Amino acid sequence: MIHPIEYRYGTPEMKAVWTEENKLMKFLEVETALARAEAEAGIVPKKAAEVIARNVGRVKLERVKEIEKKTQHDVMAVVLALSENCGEHGEWVHFGATSYDIVDTALALQIKDAINILEGKLKNLRKALVSQAERHKKTVCIARTHGQIAIPTTYGMRFALWAEEIDRHIDRLNELKPRILAGKMSGAVGTQASFGKKGLEIEKKVMKNLGLDVARITNQVVQRDRHAEFIFSLANLATTLDKICIEIRILQRSEIGELEESFAKGQVGSSTMPHKRNPVKSEQVCGLARSIRALVEPALMNNTLWDERDLTNSSCERIIFPEATVLTDHILSLTTNIIENLRFYPKNIQRNLELLKGLNMSEAVMIKLAARIGRQTAHELMRKASMEAFERDIHLRDVLMEKKEVAEHFTEKELNALINPENYTGTAIEKVEMVIDRLKNKR
């Protein structure tokens, strides 16, 4: 074993989509659909189509590989392996088709299976995020902008934000299905000359039988803008997972410590530092997301084939489709596990809310004060008061109570209420509840 996908990353269900055995099965499924469509169109004898369909199960991968060693052509090896199991009717196997009629249509079937797996995993992650949003819709915490403490938010807001983003990824997968789940039966350069006048009829019947859309016009291949869109969609999804896990890594930093990944009994964080509790799952998601994004460029370049086609996409696609789908599926499953098993530390959440001694509540005071003395005046007063509190290392409230412009408008009790983070979350709860209501029972 060489590639980590073989032994370290990926789920059995997604790996199964890209095995040699499954690829062969899809090739044979397309050949069967072709023979049946041609029989219905009166091009191939019905008996031949029946024999071909009956004997596809007798084609073995070992025999295909044996033939390929001689022919140096993977599709022709499949054709010959099937033909030799069909006797005299084997002459009708692959009639009128070119290799990429089979390859591209079979690829669409594999991608269809991959999308179905990803869609189910995305729904699981959406459910996990909605569950955490509901659980923590009132958990007030500090927000950060530019890496600096800002004003309060809630953990419910964070999870709801991510849930909506995952929901958009589900929409994107559904939106690209008509473009990527399309096959062809158009012959050597797309003209269907080998099928005569029955070309359009045959192509339509084959795709209907396989549950695919028809790529309306092609040359020898289905154009790779479709496939590039699919790979980009996976890279986009991977980037969302990257973003989520970066935030978890930040919040797990020792000096923040508001939450952490689950840490199993007996788990080792470091070979030399026994105390370490590292966010290794999140780090794995972030690392593999880089590999997935790196597959966008080759996917785009695969659309720049010479004339009616060349073979530069073929070797590349043997790598990028399994890698992109297996790794995306892997980090999707991993992120769901992370979200479902997060551990929160309320004391640290509260500590960080109070870390700046009220400075993070300067906007709340400024907004109320602006109604009394004007917005710009209030902003400048609060700016100076905040800088003074910072320099003196005292609570903002204490500085403000020394300012007559503040003291004449607010009592200490009123000022304490303004500086309380629990009182300054705006419509956060309502926003989160709107998301929960929309997504909780969505299928």
**Catalytic residue ranges:** 146, 270
Judge contact between 338 and 281, C-beta under 8 A. Answer: yes
Determine whether 299 is exposed, middle or buried from the number of CB atoms within 10 Å of its CB (0-12, 13-18, 19+).
buried
B/e letters for 302-337, b = 16+ CB within 10 Å, e = fewer, are beebeeebeeebeebbeebbbbbbbbbbbbbbbbbe
Pairing state of beta strands 343-344 and 259-260?
A: antiparallel
How far is Cα 420 from Cα 151, in angstroms, rounded to an integer? Answer: 11
How far is Cα 188 from Cα 92, in angstroms, rounded to an integer? Answer: 17
Determine whether 40 is exposed, middle or buried from the number of CB atoms within 10 Å of its CB (0-12, 13-18, 19+).
middle
Sequence-distant (6+) residues with CB within 8 A of 136 are: 154, 155, 156, 159, 344
Two tokens, residue 331: 């980090």
Residue appearing with tokens 């935030």: 247
Pairing state of beta strands 213-214 and 140-145?
A: unpaired
DSSP string, 142-169: EEEETTEEEEEEEHHHHHHHHHHHHHHH
Judge contact between 268 and 362, C-beta under 8 A. Answer: no
How far is Cα 256 from Cα 232, in angstroms, rounded to an integer? Answer: 34
Two tokens, residue 172: 């994107």
Two tokens, residue 156: 């419910």
Two tokens, residue 74: 């993977």
| Three-class SS state of 257 | coil
How far is Cα 370 from Cα 418, in angstroms, rounded to an integer? Answer: 13
How far is Cα 165 from Cα 109, in angstroms, rounded to an integer? Answer: 27
| Bridge partner residues of 152 (DSSP) | 142
Task: Look at residues 287, 237, 281, 1 and name the one whose alpha carbon lies nearest to residue 122.
Answer: 237
> How far is C-alpha 247 from the chain's CA centre?
17
CA-to-CA separations, 336 to 7, 99, 121, 419, in angstroms, rounded = 21, 40, 8, 36
